[in-house]
Amino acid sequence: MHTLELMWEDIWKILVASLILGAGLPALFAVGIRSLAYGTGGDAEEHTAGNLPAPHPVGRLGAYLCFAVVLLVVVLGITLIVATGFGKELNFDNIYPTIQDKG
């Protein structure tokens, strides 16, 4: 019975990680694209030549924030893969991640 509990605990962790990284990052990128369109004044309606919608600075700020988070996760993922290849590990004990020897 203890083995089943451990198995379900591991499956739960894999499910959460796959939802965050597998569906969450592309969804966050899509929100960033939509926010960027809103930030430049774009929408789905057609406008006359002289009647364009006004840009929204909050939309651009939200887009840049979404893109920064996606870029940070991608860089951390590449760093994790490279560090593991060199026999190191990525440690998140501090505020910022550090690369250290496995031990």
CA dist 48 to 24, 40, 51, 59, 93, Å?
37, 17, 5, 23, 56
- Backbone phi and psi for residue 98, each to the nearest 5 degrees, phi listed first: -125, 155
Give the pLDDT band of residue 93 (cuts 50, 70, 90). confident
Q: In which domain, by residue range, is 58 found?
A: 2-45+54-101
Winning range, highest mean pLDDT, from 9-13, 49-53, 67-71, 91-95: 67-71
**Per-residue pLDDT tens digits for 47-87:** 677 677 777 889 899 999 999 999 999 999 899 899 999 99
**Per-residue pLDDT tens digits for 24-52:** 999 999 999 999 888 877 765 666 776 77
Domain count, the chain: 1
Residue 94, amino acid: N
CB neighbourhood size of 96 (10 A)? 5
- Residue 46 CA to residue 92 CA, distance in Å, equals 49
Residue 44, amino acid: A
